[in-house]
Amino acid sequence: MVAIDGRRLEEEVDALPARYQGPGGVVGIVSEGRVIARRAFGFSDLDDHRPMTTETRLPLCSVTKQFTCAALLAACGEPETLDHRLAAHLPNLAAPLPRVRDLCNNQSGLRDYWALTVLHGGRAEQVFARKDAASVFARMRNCHFSPGTSYSYSNGNFRILADLIEEAASEPLEALYARHIWQPAGMTGAVLTADTRDPADGVVGYEGNDATGYLPAQNGVYWKGDAGISASLDDMLAYERWIDATRDDPDSLYQRIAVPQTFRDGTAAAYGFGLQHSRIGEFAFTSHGGALRGFRTYRLCSTEARLSVVVMFNHHGDAHGAAHRLARAALALPHPKPQPLRESWAGQWISLETGLLARLDPGVDTVALRYGTSVETLTETPEGGLASSAVRIARDGEDIVMQRPQENFAGRLVPVARVISAAEQDIARRYRSEELDAELVIEVRDGGAFLWTEGFLGKGRPEILQPAGPDLWILVTRRSMDAPAPGDWTLQLMRDGDGSVTGVRLGCWLARGIDYVKCG
């Protein structure tokens, strides 16, 4: 238990709408089983002037994953009871198959299925029907790392879990959520809204910002297990109070999903059963965020501190940052104050292991790292390296060594120099991936290069290819069916002994090492 700094917390709550501007949102805080802050602000629908309330149901997005894992434990027992069912959902995946526990822990090695929709020709607003997920999984032939050895966020893990649970329990997932979690917790308004075209309470999510204005986001995806639950702030505060009330019972569902997991080599994992494990000050927290185009959510909880924070926006505000700021205020912890950089960190390097480019862009007191799905903010360490809560970077000559403990990854990255123009490389042609049963087309015109994909979801829009170095390119996906979009893709040309282009290798953090061969 902790002494809550009530005045500072109230000031932070009052400042939140202005600090994270957008159409609307809700925020709530639970301490020692009591709701000590509960606030709704703005509008759930700007056109109809409908106010946001604490009873307005918003998409929880990926916060759903912990509910799915809890339903698995309640209805089916330990994940190993479902291992024999997994092969049927990955009919073309070469051995070794991941284990169901690997799916729960994002250690399966399966490429993220939402990232793959970009390569199957999907566009941001189009419909992704329930049957389409199975079509993506059926086309998977290998993993981008050996199951159990590393961590990579993969929404498909939890989509497959949903199907496995329903098969084994012979009940719809929504009924299992309700019986095992919503009803015991008092979440009277929670509902499964798997079709994003039909949001609960008609709530509207918005893309944009104050500079460009806010426009309604058009979603067309069907998702279940990886996301899909909608709940109000009042529902989520009831959930947090239920967690607090059962905190001393090791057999309670939340305490069971909150047990820390490990990788196959015994190394402690920071993610498991739909929960991220981290520390704020001296206290251990479990947490998770969620995103759909137009919405951002985040919840965090410490049974040690008996503190929970819930933030949900119907816009692209930083719900993660808001929740952590409120938690630090409640715990009377100072907000970090970066010091001015002492060294120059600008440059780009490539990981020979993952095939991904890492780009460092220094500011005044922080360095932006572009490697994963979004920009990571690093600060200098006293030892002369860079670090955040998830990444550590050190120089080794011209190389850099990157450690990402949460992923069980440590590797050397080599520098990439000399950006060259599109005209200097013969890349314009069609390529085919047997892994995906899909194609991509590169076109060079008017001094620029563009790439689009074609697959079972259609023909994607042309995206800009940016030259990064000899035989290296960056493709940036800023909009996709899922949010946030996959971000930076690294494209590497493959050549034969004569120097002729034979294909390309394409990958992003969510989906690495996909080979395409030249057509014709």
Residues tagged active-site: 62, 65
Whole-angstrom distance, CA of residue 43 vs CA of residue 457: 34
Helix (H, G, I), strand (E, B) or coil at 317: coil
Whole-angstrom distance, CA of residue 451 vs CA of residue 460: 9
User: What secondary structure does DSSP assign to 330-389, as a single string?
Assistant: HTTPPPP-PPPP-S---EEEEETTT--EEEEEE-SS-EEEESSSS-EEEEE-TTS-EE-S
> 313 and 16 in contact (C-beta within 8 Å)?
no
Whole-angstrom distance, CA of residue 216 vs CA of residue 97: 41
**What backbone phi and psi angles, to 5 degrees, belong to 356?**
-110, 140
CA of residue 139 relative to chain centroid, distance: 22
> 189 and 57 in contact (C-beta within 8 Å)?
yes
Whole-angstrom distance, CA of residue 188 vs CA of residue 232: 9
Quick one: CA dihedral 409, 97, 75, 163, positive or negative?
Answer: positive
Quick one: CA dihedral 363, 402, 280, 318, positive or negative?
Answer: positive
> 278 and 287 in contact (C-beta within 8 Å)?
yes
How wide is the angle at C-alpha 342 spanned by C-alphas 340 and 345, nearest 5°?
A: 105
Whole-angstrom distance, CA of residue 440 vs CA of residue 155: 23
